[in-house]
Amino acid sequence: MKIGEKILGKTIVDSIGNELGKVDDLEVDWETKIIEALVVKGRGKLSQYFDSERYDSIKKKLGVTTIEDLLIPVEEIQAIGKYVVIKKKIDPKTIV
């Protein structure tokens, strides 16, 4: 089983356990074969928490200006086990 298959479908939680969604897809740099970001469908409004040069770089590479889906750069991931845990705390009011 490949690493991507192990991650797809896992629940993503923030640093205090708030559920953000599930990993729907992966953004991969096919030249280097490196996963750049996890994709959570329909959660683009949460991108405000990942507003960084890396996030902007991924968006530019994909050629998008507005995003419907959330991209979580791999650098923002704290741990992967039963859940994918990100380093940030997300305001629960913005998750709904």
Residue 63 pLDDT: 66
Residue 22 pLDDT: 95
The residue segments making up the domain with residue 76 are 3-87
* Interval 40-61: pLDDT, tens: 888 877 877 776 777 777 777 7
- Nearest-10 Cα torsion for 77, 79, 81, 85: -60
Residue 47 counted as domain residue: yes
- For residue 12, give the CATH number of its domain: 2.30.30.240
Residue 83 counted as domain residue: yes
* Backbone φ and ψ of 18, nearest 5°: -70, 130
The count of domains in the chain is: 1
Q: What distance in Å separates the CA atoms of residue 62 and residue 60, rounded to the nearest whole number?
A: 5
Residue 1 pLDDT: 46
pLDDT less than 70: residues of the chain: 1-4, 51, 63-66, 96
